[in-house]
């Protein structure tokens, strides 16, 4: 876990980018699961990135227009024995002052009274509208009141900006501390994949494998799965967001597992492996697997400083299409198949995404026509796949698919760090070569 200097450094950089804008960054709130039961708490990653504070409902203010020592203000739920008996420990106002390096703390219920004061003197407000429904009315009311008084006060925040471009640009580039956390998250996730593959047998249920990998994540002291684990045997693997995980695994089927852990400080792994349940690929499975692996390896070779995620995707896509032409599942020229998207019944998603505090992490992929250049410290997944089922119609001009190919879904996903010279595959200890997956 980080010491407080990690968060202080991030806040200093964030403050330096705000100009004279006052930023309002709320914590997450508890989310109802059903009736009066709530999901386990999950902090808002932007809030976490700046504060390292893991309680719900808090609100952080970043006030570059105030003197040093008054620029970081945290409103938190107050200590309250009766509430803590039900929902657990709270740091309270004194606790955050002593332990979280805040300049000023207040109980949350004072926010309506104090927000006008803290916004006074700011040139504008940095707040993400549309995302924080319980706080937004107060922010807009406070801003409106400042504007109302402008003729006599002579000063009011005049505009509102979204803080995300600043914050997400920072989060996109991981520093040394974050890279080490990402290594650990990916490594534990990869170990979980290795263990579950050794455990899997035909006749087990998908949820037996889910239990096994998630047990490992918990044993390693993580928060557990970073997202709903996908354990999909046979045709279920063709459902991209399959999370039912309740089918029996049959002899001769492949098993696709897309699972990663989330560390205590929310850094995530996101790995997919696909392997034969009985330890032996069929001819068709092997052909498709080798195409996918070749595409993935070629795409990973494109990850380097100066490259871009679009090129990584296009490289994977080109290899997939070439391979599918070779085995007769597509017909035509590679370029025109890609241009007409005549492959999209077999490969229907992009090849990756940024990875960090969020699994689908923040950060722009493009600015207008410009594709963000990869830089050292960026982490992305590379995850091509092939999914053969009857769910999508075969595009005009493409061949109908023989039954022997159907019910095969394959994805291979690694977590990849851009380094100074090239790339580090953070998830490399999860085996993916055919020889290692067969026994
Ligand atoms: N597990 C979600 C994804 O691979 O994007
Ligand atoms: Mn992914
Ligand atoms: Mn995944």
**Distance, CA 234 to ligand 2 centroid (Å)?**
20
Domain co-membership, 184 together with 223: yes
Domain co-membership, 148 together with 194: no
**Residue 340 to residue 338: CA distance in whole angstroms:** 5
Domain co-membership, 120 together with 231: no
Confidence of residue 4 (pLDDT cuts 50, 70, 90): confident
Domain that holds residue 37: 4-170
Closest atom of ligand 1 to CA, residue 353: 5
Domain co-membership, 137 together with 204: no
Give the ligand at the shortest distance from the Cα of 242: 1
Q: What is the mean pLDDT of residues 258-279?
A: 98
Domain co-membership, 203 together with 307: yes
The finding on whether 415 has its CB within 6 A of some atom of ligand 1 is no
Q: What is the mean pLDDT of residues 385-395?
A: 98
Closest atom of ligand 1 to CA, residue 383: 4
216: its two tokens: 């490992």
Residue that terminates a domain, selected from 137, 170, 203: 170
Give the ligand at the shortest distance from the Cα of 228: 1
Domain co-membership, 98 together with 52: yes
Domain co-membership, 227 together with 165: no
Confidence of residue 330 (pLDDT cuts 50, 70, 90): very high
Q: Please give the mean pLDDT across all residues of the chain.
A: 98
Domain co-membership, 166 together with 204: no
Domain co-membership, 146 together with 247: no
The finding on whether 270 has its CB within 6 A of some atom of ligand 1 is yes
Q: Which of 262, 353, 411 to mutate to test the pocket of ligand 1 (most atoms within 8 A of CB)?
A: 353
**Could you tell me what percent of the chain has a pLDDT over 90?**
99
Question: What does the pLDDT look like over 273-329, one tens digit per residue?
Answer: 999 999 999 999 999 999 999 999 999 999 999 999 999 999 999 999 999 999 999
Catalytic residues: 36, 241, 258, 270, 349, 353, 360, 383, 387, 411, 413
The finding on whether 413 has its CB within 6 A of some atom of ligand 1 is yes
Question: What does the pLDDT look like over 168-225, one tens digit per residue?
Answer: 999 999 999 999 999 999 999 999 999 999 999 999 999 999 999 999 999 999 999 9
The finding on whether 361 has its CB within 6 A of some atom of ligand 1 is no
Residue nearest ligand 1's atom 4 by CA: 270
**Nearest alpha carbon to residue 386 among 438, 338, 319:** 319
Confidence of residue 1 (pLDDT cuts 50, 70, 90): low
What's the DSSP call for residue 29?
A: -
Confidence of residue 3 (pLDDT cuts 50, 70, 90): confident
Bridge partners for 271 per DSSP:
259
* Three-state DSSP state, 152: helix
Domain co-membership, 97 together with 237: no
Q: What is the mean pLDDT of residues 420-436?
A: 97
The finding on whether 414 has its CB within 6 A of some atom of ligand 1 is no
pLDDT at 2: 77
* Residue 68: CATH number of its domain: 3.40.350.10
What's the DSSP call for residue 238?
A: G
The finding on whether 191 has its CB within 6 A of some atom of ligand 1 is no
Q: What is the mean pLDDT of residues 145-171?
A: 97
240: phi then psi, degrees, rounded to nearest 5: -60, -40
* Residue 323: CATH number of its domain: 3.90.230.10
Q: Which of 192, 359, 387 to mutate to test the pocket of ligand 1 (most atoms within 8 A of CB)?
A: 359
**Residue 49 to residue 187: CA distance in whole angstroms:** 22
Do 284 and 408 meet the contact criterion of CB atoms below 8 Å apart?
Answer: yes
Domain co-membership, 290 together with 358: yes
**Could you tell me what percent of the chain has a pLDDT over 70?**
100
Domain co-membership, 252 together with 155: no
Residue that terminates a domain, selected from 141, 170, 199: 170
**Distance, CA 267 to ligand 1 centroid (Å)?**
14
Residue that terminates a domain, selected from 170, 201, 220: 170
Number of domains composing the chain: 2
b/e sequence 256-276, b meaning 16+ C-beta within 10 Å: bbbbbbbbebbbbbbbbbbbb
**Residue 340 to residue 400: CA distance in whole angstroms:** 17
Query: Is residue 29 over pLDDT 70?
Result: yes
């Amino acid at each position: 876990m980080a010491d407080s200097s990690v968060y202080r450094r991030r806040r200093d950089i964030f403050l330096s980018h705000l100009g004279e804008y006052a930023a309002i960054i709320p914590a997450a709130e508890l989310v109802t699961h059903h009736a009066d039961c709530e999901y386990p708490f999950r902090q808002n990653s932007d809030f976490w990135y700046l504060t390292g504070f893991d309680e719900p409902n808090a609100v952080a203010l970043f006030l570059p227009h105030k003197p040093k020592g008054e620029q970081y203000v945290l409103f938190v739920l107050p200590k309250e024995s009766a509430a803590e008996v039900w929902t657990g420990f709270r740091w309270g106002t004194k606790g955050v002052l002593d332990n979280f390096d805040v300049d000023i703390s207040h109980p949350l219920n004072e926010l309506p009274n104090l927000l006008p004061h803290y916004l006074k003197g700011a040139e504008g407000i940095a707040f993400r509208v549309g995302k924080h429904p319980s706080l937004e009315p107060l922010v807009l009311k406070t801003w409106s009141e400042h504007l109302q008084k402008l003729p006599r006060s002579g000063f009011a925040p005049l505009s509102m900006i979204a803080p995300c471009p600043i914050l997400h640009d920072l989060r996109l580039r991981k520093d040394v501390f974050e890279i080490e956390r990402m290594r650990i998250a990916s490594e534990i996730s990869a170990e979980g994949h290795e263990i579950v593959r050794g455990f899997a047998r035909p006749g087990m249920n998908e949820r037996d494998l889910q239990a096994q990998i998630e047990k490992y994540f918990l044993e390693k002291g993580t928060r557990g799965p970073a997202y709903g684990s996908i354990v999909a045997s046979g045709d279920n693997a063709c459902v991209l967001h399959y999370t039912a995980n309740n089918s029996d695994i049959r002899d001769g089927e492949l098993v696709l597992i897309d699972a990663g852990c989330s560390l205590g400080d929310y850094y995530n792994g996101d790995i997919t492996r696909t392997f034969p349940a009985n330890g032996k690929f069929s001819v068709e499975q092997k052909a498709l697997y080798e195409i996918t692996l070749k595409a993935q390896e070629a795409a990973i070779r494109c990850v380097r400083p100066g490259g871009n995620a679009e090129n990584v995707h296009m490289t994977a896509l080109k290899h997939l299409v070439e391979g599918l032409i070779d085995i007769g599942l597509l017909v035509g020229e590679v370029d025109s198949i890609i241009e007409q998207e005549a492959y999209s019944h077999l490969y229907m998603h992009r090849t990756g995404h940024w990875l960090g505090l969020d699994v689908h992490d923040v950060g722009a992929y493009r600015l207008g026509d410009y594709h963000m250049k990869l830089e050292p410290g960026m982490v992305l997944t590379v995850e091509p796949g092939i999914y053969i089922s009857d769910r999508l119609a075969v595009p005009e001009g493409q061949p109908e698919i023989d039954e022997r190919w159907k019910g095969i879904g394959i994805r291979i996903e690694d977590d990849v760090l851009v380094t100074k010279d090239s790339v580090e595959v953070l998830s490399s200890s999860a085996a993916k070569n055919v020889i290692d997956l067969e026994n």
